[in-house]
Amino acid sequence: MSAPLTLFEKIWKSHTIVEDEGGQTLLYIDWLLCSEGSSHAFEMVRRQGVKVRRPQQVFGVADHYAASGGPRMEDVVDEERRNMIRVLERNTGEAGIRLFGLGDPYRGIQHLLGPEQGLTQPGVIILCGDSHTSTQGAVGALAFGIGGELAHALATQTIWQRKPKKMRVRVEGRRPRGVSAKDVILAIIARLGHGGALQHAIEYDGAAIRGMSVEERMTVCNMSVEAGARLGIIGPDEKTFEYMRNRPYGPKDGAELDTAVAYWKTLATDPGAAFDKEEVIDAARLSPMVTWGNSPENAVPIDGIVPDPAHEADEQKRAAMERSLEYMDLRPGTRMRDIRIDQVFIGSCTNSRIEDLRAAAAVVRGRRAVVPGLVVPGSTQVKLRAEAEGLDRIFRDAGFRWGEAGCSMCVGMNGDNVPEGKRCASTSNRNFRGRQGRGSRTHLVGPEMAAAAALTGRLTDIRDLAVEG
């Protein structure tokens, strides 16, 4: 009998073409996504005199440079950014690749687009240049970023990879009131550290993970890379199968879907399958989380304090903490809920799905923000659905700005920035120095926590606010 396999191993094995003596594996790619940053890869393929191998399995997405102020090219903030989008249009057009471009009713952040369109399915490998491709592992796919290897993927529909180690993170028990999926993953990263899952593929499991919706699971998988992981993945279940129903590129209802589900059920990790590392977290002990420094691992409960570097024994970590506190202009011992903020951002591939927007809207309904806020849906379909439900009016009535779909202030490439020295409560995935703008200071939180901060002008415990629903 063959040895029991993990979900990750089953997908990796089914896509393996060949293994070389150096430990590298050549993998077949089901789907490939390319955004505005793909221009160098297309140029490299062009210089080599080869064509995109399977253009019908490649998709272009305009997301990083798309303007939140409008859906048209003239809404993009400057000529340099407009040119990046035009180059993507030209490259995909010449190769015969379907482009989800400006004005396309199905455009959105690429990591939302894959699952939304049904490209991302249990058992497939889907890649793009961006590390947060790991988001899509929530439906039971192998999804990871490939950066400089994009040209090889375009030319061959394959990728050379070293097989990562296997890690399982089980989140057991039930989440308390006010604890979102974002709080769960921030707590996991705080436990593991920014390199705690380095060279590993994380499989998430446990009662708290199983209790999450598919969209919540996407938030968890999205931030796997912030702990150093190659990818995050969650085994498909009945929630996954229902989520996949009637997606444009997914299996059709009836015999086709039945056949797909029968295969998807075989992907579950076998009993007794071995992992190189395991972690268990008790969900019942978690609280709403917020970051204080310049790494997602710098996360503490909202009822906690800014830590003191003097209490850190590791010299390198202590020095990093000191640098972060200087940049963030924070003092050790400061209560997190006493930190005032200047603005709020609700969006990014981490927290811009319809469930995120509903949760934030429930907090601000009938109230008024005291600091500027920007809400950017992750896709045009999410935007249209939110508007049909009246969520845009709730945000606007509360004083928020309602934007067009895209990456927006998460990475600050489209003109949406946090001014130098200002503090932002953000639902994005990274709080690196200058990520949201030169000299910007970012505190990562979940959607409800961001909404609460907008109402009070400080980092606020969502449990202290009465929320309808």
Same domain, 221 and 158: no
| Distances, alpha carbon 467 to alpha carbons 170, 359, 414, 426, in Å | 29, 9, 33, 20
Q: Which of 96, 129, 162 is the last residue of a domain?
A: 162
Same domain, 445 and 314: yes
The share of the chain scoring above pLDDT 70, in percent, equals 99
**Secondary structure of residue 100 in the 3-state scheme:** strand
Q: Which neighbouring-strand residues pair with 402? A: 375
pLDDT in tens, 405-422: 999 999 999 999 999 999
CA distance 53 to 51: 6
Same domain, 406 and 428: yes
**Secondary structure of residue 158 in the 3-state scheme:** strand
Would you tell me how many other CB atoms lie within 10 Å of the CB of residue 334? 14
Same domain, 64 and 196: no
Same domain, 155 and 171: no
CB 284 within 8 A of CB 176: yes
pLDDT for residue 178: 97
What's the mean pLDDT in 160-181? 98
Residue 60 resides in a domain: yes
Check pLDDT > 80 for residue 226.
yes
Q: Which helix (H) or strand (E) holds 278?
A: strand 277-282
> What would the two tokens of residue 309 be?
């570097």
Residue 2 resides in a domain: no
Same domain, 221 and 361: no
As for how many domains the chain has, the answer is 3
AA identity, residue 436: Q
Same domain, 364 and 405: yes
pLDDT for residue 306: 98
Residue 68 resides in a domain: yes
Give the range of the structural domain holding residue 249, as residue numbers without chain letter: 165-285
Same domain, 300 and 446: yes
Alpha-helix runs per DSSP H in 349-442: 354-364, 380-388, 391-397
Same domain, 323 and 445: yes
The CATH number of residue 254's host domain is 3.40.1060.10
* Residue 270 DSSP label: P
* Burial class of residue 141 (count of CB atoms within 10 Å of its CB; 0-12, 13-18, 19+): buried
Residue 116 resides in a domain: yes
Q: Which helix (H) or strand (E) holds 90?
A: helix 79-95
Residue 264 resides in a domain: yes
pLDDT in tens, 379-402: 999 999 999 999 999 999 999 999
pLDDT grade, residue 209 (50/70/90)? very high
Q: Which of 113, 134, 162 is the last residue of a domain?
A: 162
pLDDT grade, residue 466 (50/70/90)? confident
- The secondary structure of 2-71 as a DSSP string is PPP--HHHHHHHHTEEEE-TTSEEEEE-SEEEE-GGGHHHHHHHHHTT---S-GGGEEEE--SS--TT-S
Check pLDDT > 90 for residue 467.
no
Residue 36 resides in a domain: yes
What's the mean pLDDT in 57-64? 98
Same domain, 121 and 169: no
Residue 310 resides in a domain: yes
pLDDT for residue 469: 54
pLDDT for residue 270: 98
**Secondary structure of residue 410 in the 3-state scheme:** helix
pLDDT for residue 468: 61
pLDDT for residue 249: 97
| Distances, alpha carbon 32 to alpha carbons 99, 111, 125, 448, in Å | 12, 11, 9, 33
Same domain, 29 and 157: yes
The CATH number of residue 158's host domain is 3.30.499.10
Q: Which helix (H) or strand (E) holds 172?
A: strand 165-172
- Among candidates 22, 6, 137, 198, which has minimal Cα distance to 14? 6
Residue 469 resides in a domain: no
Same domain, 400 and 376: yes
Q: Which of 137, 162, 187 is the last residue of a domain?
A: 162
